[in-house]
Chain A
Amino acid sequence: EAGVTQFPSHSVIEKGQTVTLRCDPISGHDNLYWYRRVMGKEIKFLLHFVKESKQDESGMPNNRFLAERTGGTYSTLKVQPAELEDSGVYFCASSQAGSNEQFFGPGTRLTVL
């Protein structure tokens, strides 16, 4: 069974540009999460989807970040316009309903210059 996949693995953009990150969760996992790790800091929660609905978006830093999960399958996270402080590794994770275990993707390393 394929794990959680994320695309791209790396992205280097200039301040003010737009970037869209994609996450494909494990098939059948209703729960999808986005997390971010800024260098030197802990992994921080961004938001949580249950199927196509946003269950909790309390961790989204500001309105420059937009997450979608149309159809309840893959999800995208768009940053527009990107700022220097958005640099970090963005992780996606998925889990089955009722499970304590979250499966993480390899992350997208975003660098904003």
Chain B
Amino acid sequence: GQSLEQPSEVTAVEGAIVQINCTYQTSGFYGLSWYQQHDGGAPTFLSYNALDGLEETGRFSSFLSRSDSYGYLLLQELQMKDSASYFCAQGGTGGGNKLTFGTGTQLKVEL
């Protein structure tokens, strides 16, 4: 089976940096993706890590350590609009694999 665990909630102030962790247990590994979902909206793709290391996309970065079965999403210069749910998801490589989602983290950005 596959499971991906995340903290349920994280709170940070505007302008700060926040890290959302994801630990996983999977029978096979196909890369780690991150999705953002605002209330009532569609999940939107943020980043994907197939290999160990850091991937940077603007204010967002994602890190993966396959030996530790661990990854994180780093959000810098937090803005109020970053308040949303964030999901890590395993799979997606090669454009054909289903995504197995983590439990999700509700990020609240405060003034």
Contacts and interface: CB of A to CB of B under 8 A. Distances in A.
B95 A100 contact: yes
Interface string B67-111: 000000000000000000001000011111011111110000000
A4 B42 contact: yes
A104 B44 contact: yes
User: Could you say which of B31, B43, B98, B100 has the most chain A C-beta atoms within 10 Å of its C-beta?
Assistant: B98
A99 interface: yes
Contact of B43 (A43, A50, A98): A43
B98 A100 contact: no
Contacts of A98: 94-95
Contact residues of B: prevailing secondary structure: loop
Contacts of A39: none
Nearest to A9: B40
Contacts of A74: none
Interface in A78-113: 91, 93, 95-107
A36 B2 CA distance: 17
Give the contact-size bracket for chain A: 20 to 34
A100 B48 contact: yes
Nearest to B96: A31
A2 to B, nearest CB: 13
Given A56-B98, A93-B99, A99-B95, 12 more contacts: A3-B42, A31-B96, A35-B101, A44-B101, A58-B98, A91-B43, A95-B95, A97-B96, A100-B31, A100-B92, A105-B42, A106-B41
Interface of A: 3-4, 31, 33, 35, 42-45, 48, 50, 55-56, 58-59, 91, 93, 95-107
